[in-house]
Structure 1
Amino acid sequence: MSAADKAAAPERADGGAVAEAQPPAAAQDKPAQAPDLSVDQRSIIYRGSISVRVKDDVNAAAGQASGIATTAGGFIGSDNRTSGSGGSGTATLMLRVPADKFAPVVDQLSKLGSEEHREISTEDVTEETVDLDARITVQQARVDSGRRLLAQAKTLNDLVMLEKEVATRESDLASLQAKKRRLADLTALSTITVTFLGPAAPTPAGEDNPGGFLGGLAAGWDALLASLKVVLTVLGALLPWLIVIGLPVWAAFYLYRRFRPNRATGRPALVAPAGAVPAVYPPHPPMPASAPPVPSKQTDETDKP
């Protein structure tokens, strides 16, 4: 390299540094944009439950449902089956399938028999996801700054204090990251609970209960029947005790009332206490049999002359 090139190299380096430090005019005039939260970019949790009555064995339908979930790229979260005689068996499977395969899988499951109940629910967690991302970024920066300060600690007290602070920040960061992973799992894989009923299996309670006034009336009637059942159960449990204990007590009381000795019903005479002097009243003078009329001193005005 020539001397001129060596002399020009610092100038180009400085000029390049200055050019990189200054943002372009287009970038300065461009306003800040909000994150893209369109339908494709939103985080939505899909949940569904479906009941299907099959004509044959429920185990065969459960096997077909497992194949549908595996083909869609999902897996089986749980599998509960009950066997019964006469086609009364049931099978309940919880399937986890990709969110974009949620609707097709539900439709395929409904075709395995006669659909009796379907319930689909969605939950939009986009704002929560964005908030978690921002909090994780801030917490990660706090952890990095704490680690840098920990590396520069010079005294034992500073070292202990910074280690405690860094451990607290790392714990908070791990908690936020766990929440983010949980939301990511729920949004990436939807949950479908499918129940297969045999030909003679009863319909699960609560699926055919209407809402509104009729639903409240049916719920109240069921509660009344349940309360009466409890009361009758208690009475049935107490009845033997009432017979064993109550009848002898009643018989003893009846015999006592019937054969008890007769007692005087008169009231006892009143006796004056000792030392009390009875009150003596003067005798009332007898009234004459017939008394002459007493003349009136007043004279009627008509008798005057």
Structure 2
Amino acid sequence: MSRRVAVAVGAALLVSAGLAVVLVGGGGGSSAGDSSSVSAAPSIGFAEPAPERAGARDGVLSADEAAAPSAPASPGVPVGAVERSLVRTAQVTVEVPDAAAGVRDVRAAAVAAGGFVAEESSGDRGGSVVLRVPADALDRVLDAVAAVGEVTDRSSSVVDATEQVVDLDARVASQQASVARVRALLAEATTIGEVVAIESELTAREAELDSLTGRLAALRDQVSLSTLTVDLRVPYVLDDDEPTAAGFGPGLAAGWEGLLALGTGVGTVLGFLLPFLPVAAVVAGLVWLVVRRRRRATPVT
């Protein structure tokens, strides 16, 4: 009897152990499932996939969505072409019948385009005018200047100053921030030594800022206003375009002109000697009297 009880108790213990193993295995499975779900979550630093567009159906986008630009890869980088900073200069030579009138016309063309005359000089045989005109009006002013006379020479050049402008912009911004920091330190200074040292540093940084600002302003002025140099020339015209013809008539005319020139020369000489004639007459009379007296005083042999 006791043997049967022992067998029953052993069987009960085996069944209990099996149930425990099953329960423990189920709990472990659930733990594994929890860990797998955690690992499936997106880690920090990776962007989640973008949601589908509302108009996307089976991979087909609407016309508006297809035309819409995509977002830039970097939000701080501008999209599209960079605006170039170009320095344009030009020079033109124009032949005009009247230099003064040509200078007036060139000046009027510059003023009409919103520019001004930087330098000006003129004379009987020509002149020179240096204009500063808006860059977008340079071609229009060139056409207006060409209409003043006949263009004999024309040239132009373009210099890309974009990198210089960007560099100076960045340096000015950095120097402004530096000056602001030094001014903040000056406001917090408590001793005379600190004030003197900080003011010296502030003066140096402000001078550097003024230099950079002036360079940037000059460069932007060259970009916004183009320089146009206009040379005006008056062509030389002979008084008598036709050469002298040969023959009796032209020879007679030349001889008559020569005779007139000779008469003019003789008249000039006579006019020069005329004031000396009375003196010469007096001298000649005195000489004649002396000679006559000597002849009378000499005895005749």
Q: State TM-score, norm by structure 2.
A: 0.53
- How far, CA to CA, are the matches of 2:143 and 2:183 in structure 1? 53
5 Å matches for 1:183-194?
183-194=219-230
What is the aligned partner in structure 2 of residue 75 from structure 1? Answer: 116
1:63 maps to which of 86, 92, 104? 104
Cα distance between partner residues in 2 of 1:110 and 1:98: 18
**Using the alignment, how far apart are the partners of 2:79 and 2:233 within structure 1?**
44
1:34, CA displacement in angstroms?
A: 3.6
Alignment check: 8 A CA contact 2:103 2:122 kept? no
Task: Determine what percentage of the aligned residue pairs are the same residue.
Answer: 36
Query: Structure 2 vs 1, CA of residues 128 and 61 (structure 1 numbering), >3 Å: closer, same or farther?
Result: same
Give the aligned residue type for 2:136: D
C-alpha separation in 2, matches of 1:136 and 1:79: 35
- Displacement after TM superposition at 1:48 (Å): 0.5
CA distance in 1, matches of 2:112, 2:123: 25
Q: Once the 2 structures are TM-superposed, how far is the Cα of residue 93 of structure 1 from its aligned partner?
A: 0.1
Counterpart residue number, 1:271: none
Q: How far apart in 2 are the matches of 1:179 and 1:147?
A: 23
Q: Name the aligned partner's letter for residue 31 of structure 1.
A: S
4+ runs deviating over 4 angstroms: none
| One-letter amino acid matched to 1:175 | S
Identify unmatched segments of 5+ residues in structure 1: 1-24, 84-88, 202-305
> CA–CA distance in 1 between the matches of 2:212 and 2:142?
33
Q: Deviations over 1:175-198 (max 9, x none)?
A: 000011001110111000001100
Return the match for 1:162 from 189, 198, 214.
198
TM-score by length of 1: 0.52
Partner of 1:196: 232
**Which structure dedicates a bigger proportion of its chain to helix?**
2
- Total equivalences in the alignment: 169
Q: Which entry has the higher C-alpha Rg, 1 or 2?
A: 2
Distance 1:139 1:43 in 2: 22
Is 1:151 equivalent to 2:187 in the alignment?
yes
Structure 1 residues 124 and 35: CA distance shift in structure 2, 3 A: farther
1:235 alignment counterpart: none
Match runs of 1:231-250 below 5 Å: none
Q: How does 1:211-226 map to 2 (within 5 A)?
A: none
RMSD value, Cα: 2.2
Q: Secondary structure at the match of 1:122?
A: strand
Q: Does 1:134 align with 2:170?
A: yes
Return 5+ residue gaps in structure 2 as ranges.
1-47, 51-70, 238-301
Cα offset, 1:52, TM superposition: 0.4
Partner SS state of residue 169, structure 2: helix
Match of 2:94 among 33, 37, 52: 52
